[in-house]
Amino acid sequence: MIKIGDLQASAGQHVFGFLKGPRSRSGLHGDVPVHIFAGTEPGPTLLVQGAVHGGEVIGSIAILRVVKSLDAKKLRGTVIAVPVLNRIGFELGDRPNKIDGKDISTLFPGNPRGSFSDQLAAIYFEEVIRKANAMLDLHAAAKGYERYVLFTVERDPKNPTEIERKRRKLAVAFGLDTAAFFPPLTFGTNKSEEAFEREGIVFFQPEFGGGTGWHENGEANVRDAARGIWNTMRAMRMVDGPFESDGPLCTIYNANVVLWKPPLDGLFVRLKKFGDHVQEGEVYAVLQDPYTGREIAPMRNTKTATVIPSGLEWPTVGATSVGILGEIDEVVDRRTADLYVDFA
Ligand SMILES: [Zn+2]
């Protein structure tokens, strides 16, 4: 028996309902749609979630596809599937929760006395996240084609912790040909990642292209995201069946260079593409006036490295990363690698 809010599922059951979220002063709510699949045999708990960034719907569609064909009676352990975490952002097609403008993904473990998003993060962390052994958080940032498995932060890649080792395995098992991790503090404080780690949760977040314009490569991305969810269940020994992937090799990058947009808005024109080797000081992209075509600023690379999937976000508005570069840390051959992750 597993309980989430008012929902409960017994062995062999698929239950759907809403986890009650906070209310805004005008009565808007962020109740979270939750599917629970309670397996008939013991096993770990996998949380699969989409649209914590409201406009990133590839994962949502993939999750619904998996929900349709997953059979609780043939499952070991429990799958919690949340197609849309940030409902208000989702309905308005935008990344943050529009009520307070916050990015929910950065707020865990949440704050019951904070604003709407902080409260939502606190309820969701307590009721959902803490019940999971592994958390698969599906993203689809950027308008251009961007597709890789990000497994967040590694402090010392040569000397990984137990959780970091499991994270790397699940990232490879997911099935894309590219994966990456960031050095600590690359993007903000890593507050959420640290909260997951304290709970012993193996957290990773595949990125698919498309953003709100998901029709571009949409079907291929949805298919690969759904395939990745099944692969994750296989790696956790929750379902049987062979792994499916882009191919035998998964290249893992240490994404240790992030290029930030200058404090100007404009039309971003990227001159380098995935796989290009870029020297320190070389022009990576230019920012143009979108009406006259006049060059506003060149964006130079800060450290010699290889371009990894970075997306093509234009026009740019506000503070945003416009390039992610790094070095190959490891190339894993799935034909010989052990992709299984066991949870006590
Ligand atoms: Zn995202």
State the distance from the centre of ligand 1 to the C-alpha of 258, rounded, in angstroms. Answer: 16
In a domain, 336, yes or no: no
CATH number of residue 303's parent domain: 2.40.50.100
State the distance from the centre of ligand 1 to the C-alpha of 141, rounded, in angstroms. Answer: 5
Q: Are residues 172 and 125 in the same domain?
A: yes
State the distance from the centre of ligand 1 to the C-alpha of 156, rounded, in angstroms. Answer: 25
Tell me the β-bridge partners of 331.
251
Final residue of a structural domain among 232, 253, 274: 253
State the distance from the centre of ligand 1 to the C-alpha of 114, rounded, in angstroms. Answer: 22
Q: Are residues 101 and 49 in the same domain?
A: yes
State the distance from the centre of ligand 1 to the C-alpha of 9, rounded, in angstroms. Answer: 30
SS (H, E, C) the chain: CEEECCEEECCCCEEEEEECCCECCCCCECCEEEEEEECCEEEEEEEEEECCCCCCCHHHHHHHHHHHHCCHHHCEEEEEEECCCCHHHHHCCCCCECCCCECHHHCCCCCCCCCHHHHHHHHHHHHCHHHCCEEEEEECCCCCCCCEEEEEECCCCCCCCHHHHHHHHHHHHCCCCEEEEECCCCCCCCHHHHHHHHCCCEEEEEECCCCCCCCCCHHHHHHHHHHHHHHHHHHCCCCCCCCCCCCCEEEEEEEEEEEECCCCCEEEEECCCCCCEECCCCEEEEEECCCCCCEEEEEECCCCEEECCCCCCCCECCCCEEEEEEEEEEEEECCCCCCCCCCC
SS3 label, residue 283: strand
Q: What are phi and psi of 27, to 5 degrees?
A: 100, 0
pLDDT tens, the chain, 344 aa long: 899 999 999 999 999 999 999 998 888 898 999 999 999 999 999 999 999 998 888 999 999 999 999 999 999 999 999 999 999 999 887 888 989 999 999 999 999 999 999 999 999 999 999 999 999 999 987 655 578 888 877 888 888 899 999 999 999 999 999 999 988 877 777 899 999 999 999 999 998 876 555 556 688 889 999 999 999 999 999 999 999 999 999 999 999 998 887 777 788 888 998 899 999 999 998 888 888 989 988 989 999 999 987 766 566 655 567 788 999 999 999 999 999 999 98
Q: Are residues 196 and 132 in the same domain?
A: yes
State the distance from the centre of ligand 1 to the C-alpha of 211, rounded, in angstroms. Answer: 8
In a domain, 331, yes or no: no
In a domain, 189, yes or no: yes
State the distance from the centre of ligand 1 to the C-alpha of 305, rounded, in angstroms. Answer: 24
Ligand 1 ion local residues (Cβ < 5 A): 53, 56, 139, 141
Q: Are residues 20 and 140 in the same domain?
A: yes
State the distance from the centre of ligand 1 to the C-alpha of 145, rounded, in angstroms. Answer: 14
CATH number of residue 179's parent domain: 3.40.630.10
State the distance from the centre of ligand 1 to the C-alpha of 55, rounded, in angstroms. Answer: 8
Domain range for 216: 2-253
What distance in Å separates the CA atoms of residue 14 and residue 130, rounded to the nearest whole number?
Answer: 20
Q: Are residues 141 and 46 in the same domain?
A: yes
In a domain, 191, yes or no: yes
Direct distance between the N- and C-terminal alpha carbons of the chain, in angstroms, rounded to an integer: 18
State the distance from the centre of ligand 1 to the C-alpha of 73, rounded, in angstroms. Answer: 32
State the distance from the centre of ligand 1 to the C-alpha of 182, rounded, in angstroms. Answer: 15
State the distance from the centre of ligand 1 to the C-alpha of 52, rounded, in angstroms. Answer: 7
Predicted TM-score (pTM) of this structure: 0.93
The total number of structural domains in the chain stands at 2
State the distance from the centre of ligand 1 to the C-alpha of 54, rounded, in angstroms. Answer: 8
In a domain, 246, yes or no: yes
State the distance from the centre of ligand 1 to the C-alpha of 65, rounded, in angstroms. Answer: 20
State the distance from the centre of ligand 1 to the C-alpha of 10, rounded, in angstroms. Answer: 33
- The reported pLDDT for the residue numbered 306 is 94
What distance in Å separates the CA atoms of residue 196 and residue 108, rounded to the nearest whole number?
Answer: 8
In a domain, 124, yes or no: yes
In a domain, 339, yes or no: no
- The reported pLDDT for the residue numbered 314 is 60
State the distance from the centre of ligand 1 to the C-alpha of 109, rounded, in angstroms. Answer: 18
Tell me the β-bridge partners of 46.
79, 134
The structure tokens 């130079």 sit at 300
Q: Are residues 57 and 43 in the same domain?
A: yes
Q: Are residues 23 and 101 in the same domain?
A: yes
In a domain, 216, yes or no: yes
Q: Are residues 103 and 213 in the same domain?
A: yes
Q: Are residues 268 and 144 in the same domain?
A: no
State the distance from the centre of ligand 1 to the C-alpha of 40, rounded, in angstroms. Answer: 33
- The reported pLDDT for the residue numbered 274 is 87
